[in-house]
Amino acid sequence: MATYDNLPIYKASYELLVDIFKFTQNFSREFKFTLGERLKNETIDMITHIYRANTEREKFDTLQKARENIEIIRLYMRLLKDLNQVGLKKFVDINERIENVSKQLTGWQKHSKL
């Protein structure tokens, strides 16, 4: 098994990705194929950057890209809540996952700078 599978940040971001895929299935057609797809793609990009950062010597720039992804994901989630595509409970749930990943990315990026 690959070493990135054991990273807490990989596990947390993968759980976020699965959760996003599950809940976007229930979007109305208008949002499923626009904002839903963008949200899924942004999350896939983020987890890809996490994988890449784990394999690179110089991680800072790749981790910065992952941090940008997580902020865009946070923005999309807020928009989806305001458009009534996600309930408050699910919104809070996913935002807790987002915050968990964000904190881990920040910590990893600070550590990689040393």
pLDDT at residue number 15: 96
Helix H or strand E encompassing 84: none
What pLDDT band is residue 9 in, cutting at 50, 70 and 90?
very high
User: Over 80: is that where the pLDDT of 1 sits?
Assistant: no
Is the full-model pTM beyond 0.75? yes
What domains appear along the chain, each with residue ranges and CATH number? 3-113 (1.20.1440.60)
Q: Output the pLDDT for position 4.
A: 59
DSSP string over 7-67: -HHHHHHHHHHHHHHHHHTTS-HHHHTTHHHHHHHHHHHHHHHHHHHHH-S--HHHHHHHH
Amino acid 7: pLDDT: 85
Q: Is the pLDDT of residue 92 over 90?
A: yes
Q: Tens digit of pLDDT for each residue in 31-69?
A: 999 999 999 999 999 999 999 999 999 999 999 999 999
The answer to whether 112 and 59 are in contact (CB under 8 A) is yes
Instruction: Work out the percent of the chain whose per-residue pLDDT is above 90.
Output: 83
- Can you tell me the mean pLDDT for 80-93? 94
Q: Which of 6-10, 17-21, 26-30 has the highest mean pLDDT?
A: 17-21
